[in-house]
Amino acid sequence: MAEEPQLTSPRATELPTPRSSDSVDALSTRPPADVTKHQLAVALTWVARGIPVVPCSRTDKGALVPGFGKDAPADDIVKTFSDRETVTAWWSGRFKRAHVGLLGGRGPGGGLVVVDLDMLKMDTDAPTGRWAGCQGGTDVLEILAREAGADWPETYTVLTPSGGMHLYFRQPEGAPIGCATGDGPTAPHLGPLIDVRGVGGYVIAAGSYSAAQGRAYERITPAALGPQPLPGWLLELLRPDAPPAPRPRPPAAVRTLAPGSSRADRYADKALAGETAGVAGAAEGTRNGRLFAGARRLGELHHTAPSVLDESTVREQLLGAALAAGLRGGEREALRTIHSGWERGVRDGAGRGAGAA
């Protein structure tokens, strides 16, 4: 029986990622009986799914055929890298046994953008500051999700031979997502230990095998789960350079406090107005996180002034502000973020006691 792979690492948060899936423990190091036929079958499978492929080195994973850069015409990409005869010739002759690379961003299947979560290498310094304690890209992405008040994204997920992960998403409408490596000041950089592969880039396909790495790239999510649309919070981080939304005045307060209201009610009313204004004025790239923080703070104060900060009032005010600010993902994403922040705040506020405003 093959030795179980060591895939666990310190966790920055407690979100349920596919790393804890039972299917991970069942991965096998056994090579395919015929690697050449196996690689060709993998390549043709992805071509049939509408994803262009490129042969890659079995050792350093570098592309062995040029012509798919970000400036290459889309029609040329499809003609060359999605042609079954060309692909069959590559993996039957010159590039047999080569890794199968999947091109991001273009293709008859609609195009991919892949979030590549790397593991911290032995000779690499660990991230510091905001990312202190992160041992891999999964930890970094968990922090980003937590800050946005979101869950771990459910989508087609692949475990790499090194223990990293590839999360496959569909390219969004409008301007496609490009490529980025590691941390950086602009989109689509997400953080250390995370690479983004869209237009002009590629990742090694699920199913592809190389003896140099000793294990295939393996899907670890259910077969029926294909690449999903990017969730709003992640799209906002990957493409924050969209035209800025207008900054309307925040919605007016929905209630006027009666004379003689308690100090707690007056404080809660001001907090509601302040958090609503903060959400309405949040900058692109920060809106989901700001919405979560506002809902959480108002939830914490709920116990001190329940008649002012009831859930429906908070939801109505924050939702209006979020939509006016242009939050990506629309009403559904906003309501999900508000609910998550409110529940967290109510729980935290109850834990500190009703008088701890």
Distance from chain centroid for Cα 59: 28
Q: Tell me: the pLDDT tens digits for 270-321?
A: 999 999 999 998 887 788 889 999 999 999 999 998 988 999 889 999 998 9
Residue with tokens 């670890």: 220
Q: What is the pLDDT of residue 129?
A: 87
| Dihedral sign (CA 189, 190, 194, 200) | negative
Which pLDDT score is estimated for 70?
A: 84
- Residue 349's contacts (CB-CB under 8 Å, 6 or more residues apart) are 299, 300, 301, 302, 303, 304, 356
Q: Where does the pLDDT of residue 8 fall: very low under 50, low under 70, confident under 90, or very high at 90 and above?
A: very low
Question: At 186, phi and psi to the nearest 5?
Answer: -130, 160
Give me the mean pLDDT over the 263-271 stretch. Answer: 88
Comparing CA positions, the residue from 139, 135, 54, 138 lying closest to residue 102 is 54
Predicted pLDDT at 174: 83
pLDDT score at 212: 87
pLDDT(25) > 60:
no
Question: Buried b vs exposed e over 250-271: b needs ≥16 C-beta within 10 Å?
Answer: bbeeeeebeeebeebbebbbeb
Residue 138's beta-bridge partner residues?
A: none
Per-residue pLDDT of 27-48, as tens digits, reads: 456 788 899 999 999 999 999 9
Query: At a CB cut-off of 8 Å and minimum separation 6, what does 21 contact?
Result: 220, 221
Q: Is 21 exposed, middle or buried (0-12, 13-18, 19+ CB in 10 A)?
A: middle
Contact 238, 187 (CB under 8 A): yes
Q: Rounded distance, CA 208 to CA 100, Å? A: 6
pLDDT category of residue 5 using cuts at 50, 70 and 90: very low
Choose from 26-30, 49-53, 75-79, 282-286 the range with maximum mean pLDDT: 49-53
State how far Cα 345 lies from the chain centre: 24
pLDDT tens track for 175-224: 889 999 999 888 899 999 999 999 999 999 999 999 888 889 999 999 89
Q: Tokens standing for 192?
A: 């250390």
pLDDT at 137 over 50: yes
Q: 8: how many CB neighbours lie within 10 A of its CB?
A: 11
Average pLDDT on 66-82 reads: 87
How long, in residues, is the chain? 357
> What does the pLDDT read at residue 188?
92
Structure tokens at 273: 């107005």
Higher pLDDT, 295 or 4: 295
Tell whether the torsion through CA atoms of 303, 306, 301 and 295 is positive or negative. positive
pLDDT value at residue 47? 93
Residues 228-262 pLDDT 10s: 999 999 998 998 654 444 444 445 445 566 666 78
- Residue 207's DSSP bridge partners are none
Question: What end-to-end distance do the CA atoms of the chain give, in Å?
Answer: 58
